[in-house]
Amino acid sequence: MGMTVTRRKDTRTPRVFMHKTADIRGGVSVKVSELGGDFLNEGAVLSAPDNGICHVVKIAVLSAEATTTATDIKVNKGHNFKVGDFVMADEGGKAYAITAITTTEKTHDTIKVGTTLGVKIEKGGFIIEAAEESETTTSKLKYTPLSLVGTGKPIVPNSNLDTDAWLIGVTKGNPLPECVMKHLKGIINY
């Protein structure tokens, strides 16, 4: 039996929880195969368990304004999108697939969408994972939000990811779009 040594450089991760009141007892398992990136941040949104596994409701915050014709969208690092995910600016809009993600810049990632989303998104705005492609105004969330991750954890491919999931709590500065926040009845976000 061999020993495996892995190296990882820790970086300062944002803390968003101010108070944690009620969680899902025993924590939850997260579907790792759907995640891009190498870290699941504290405050990430989780769906209700589906056959015992929760899914991450993927959200990215824009680091620069995206015009109505933009297909390259600059977002802050720390998102969990991967090529093939569908993105939208908000529910009830257009949604298209991610064709490429460029991660070489230090300050941001660039997500390339096959077709423009057709709306202007301000710096600090969001792109959110959609259920499927939508060429009209019928996009919707892929998963219904239920809880927030209470402790950030590294993502190890082909492994299990178990974490705490908080139903009731207070967060500060957690980037949550309105279409996600309306489902999180027990979360107060300042």
Rounded to the nearest integer, the mean pLDDT of the chain is 92
The predicted-structure confidence for 123-174, as pLDDT tens digits, reads as follows 999 999 999 999 988 999 999 999 999 999 999 988 889 999 999 999 999 9
The tens digit of pLDDT for each residue in 89-117 reads: 999 999 999 999 999 999 999 999 999 99
pLDDT at 7: 73
Of 147 and 49, the one with more pLDDT = 147
Cα–Cα distance measured from residue 110 to residue 87, given in angstroms and rounded to the nearest whole number: 13
pLDDT tens sequence across 169-186: 999 999 999 999 999 999
Q: Is residue 69 over pLDDT 90? A: yes
| pLDDT of the residue at 15 | 87
CA distance 29 to 132: 24
What is d(CA 84, CA 76) in angstroms, rounded to the nearest whole number?
19
* SS3 annotation, 25-48: CCCEEECHHHCCCCEECCCCEEEC
- Measured CA to CA, the distance from residue 180 to residue 122 in angstroms comes to 18
Q: Which amino acid is at 139?
A: S
pLDDT score at 8:
66
Domains of the chain: 17-55+143-189 (no CATH), 59-130 (2.40.30)
Q: Is the CB of residue 83 less than 8 Å from the CB of residue 35? A: no
Higher pLDDT, 4 or 124: 124
Cβ of 1: how many Cβ atoms within 10 Å? 2
Six-digit token string for 140: 């919707």
pLDDT of 50 > 80? The answer is: yes
With CA atoms as reference, report the closest residue to 155 among 44, 49, 37, 76.
37
**Cβ pair 113, 96 in contact under 8 A:** yes
Element (H, E) at 114: none
pLDDT value at 4 more than 90: no
Residue type, 147: S
Give the pLDDT band of residue 1 (cuts 50, 70, 90): low
**Whether 117 contacts 94, CB under 8 Å:** yes
